[in-house]
Amino acid sequence: MSEQRKKILRSSELIKESFPGNFKPSTALIIEDSFDILNGITIKGEIDFDKVFPVNENSPGPKGKVLFAKCGSKDIIIFQGRMHYYDGFHMREIGHTVYTLKYLGIKKILSVDEAGLLNPRFKCGDLAIVYDHVNLTGDNPLIGRNDDELGIRFPDMSNAYDKDLYGVIYRIFQKEMMKMNESVYLGISGPQTETEAESRFYRDIGADVLGYSLVPENITSVHAGIKFAGIALLTRELIADKMMEDERTESQMNMDQIMNRKAASNELGRVLKEILENI
C-alpha cells in the first residue's frame, strides 16, 4: 500500500470515529468557513481539520471543521473550510481531503467557491453554476506517482462537472426563478488580484468566472470516481475595460466584496437544502 493511501485511510478512520450513530453519508458539501449558507441543515457533530489532516512544515495548518449534518432524511458530510494552494498547502494535500471523502463512502460532492466575474453579463451578488473549467494554476493534485487504488493514471475529464448533478441544480434554480449564469470557471493560484491584461486574456480564452479553489478539488474528485458539482458566489468584478476606471479605495473594495458575498450567500442559502436533498 502506498504511503499516500495509508495517510488517506488514517484520516478517514479518524473521522469515522467521530460519526454520530447510524451516520451513513454518500454526499459531501465543501464550503469556505466564512459562508453563511447552511439554512435548514442540522449539525449533529464536528471535528477540527487539524485533528484529521496532516500538513507540511511550510503551511500554517488547516483551518476548518468536518461537520456531520442531516439534510432532511439525508446524511451529509460538510467541510466548512478548505486548504488553499495560495496558503502554502501542496496540491496533494488538497487532494488528500477529497480522497478521504472517497473512503468515507462519498459518491457526490457539491463544492461552493467565491469567484470574480469575467463575463460582463453577470453581476456581483449573483451565483454561477459551473459546467467546465480551465486550469491555469500551474499545478495539479495528480502529479507524482499514481496509486491505482485511488484512480486511473489518466482520468477522463469530459464530464468533470457531472451533467446529471448540473441538471438537478439547473432545474432548482429554474423553479425558483434564479439567474442561471452557466459558467466556465478559470482556476489560478492567487492570492494577488488580477491585472487588467490578465482579466482580458482570461475572458478571451472563454472563462466566465475566476477563482482559486474549485479546480484541484474537481480534478481529484474525477480521479477518485466521485461525481462533482460546482457553484460560485460572485463577489468581484473583473471586467477589463472597467478596472482602470475603478476609483474605489482598497478598503471600499473589500467592504463591497463582503456585501456581495453576503448577497450571494443569502441567495444560495434559500435553495441549498433542496439541492443537497436531490443530488
pLDDT at 220 over 80: yes
pTM value is 0.95
pLDDT of residue 240: 85
pLDDT of residue 57: 66
Nearest-Å Rg of the Cα atoms of the chain is 18
pLDDT, tens digit, 9 for 90 and up, residues 117-129: 999 999 999 999 9
> How many domains does the structure of the chain reveal?
1
pLDDT at 187 over 90: yes
How many Cβ atoms from other residues are within 10 Å of residue 211's Cβ? 24
pLDDT of residue 246: 80
Long-range CB contacts (within 8 A, 24+) of 198-207:
199/118, 199/238, 199/239, 199/240, 199/243, 200/240, 202/118, 202/136, 202/238, 203/118, 203/119, 203/240, 205/134, 206/134, 207/118, 207/134
pLDDT of residue 193: 87
Average of per-residue pLDDT across 16-28: 96
Look at 62 and 276; give whichever has higher pLDDT: 276
pLDDT of residue 58: 66
pLDDT of residue 62: 77
pLDDT, tens digit, 9 for 90 and up, residues 34-67: 899 999 999 999 999 999 998 766 666 778 999 9
The C-alpha atoms of residue 11 and residue 20 are separated, in whole angstroms, by 17
pLDDT at 82 over 90: yes
pLDDT of residue 247: 77
Q: What is the CATH number of the domain that holds 210?
A: 3.40.50.1580
| Mean pLDDT of the residues in the chain | 94
pLDDT, tens digit, 9 for 90 and up, residues 189-218: 989 889 999 999 999 999 999 999 999 999
pLDDT of residue 55: 73
pLDDT of residue 137: 96
Question: Which domain covers residue 82, as residue numbers?
Answer: 3-278
Most confident by average pLDDT, 53-57, 167-171, 250-254: 167-171
Name the residue with cell 488553499: 84
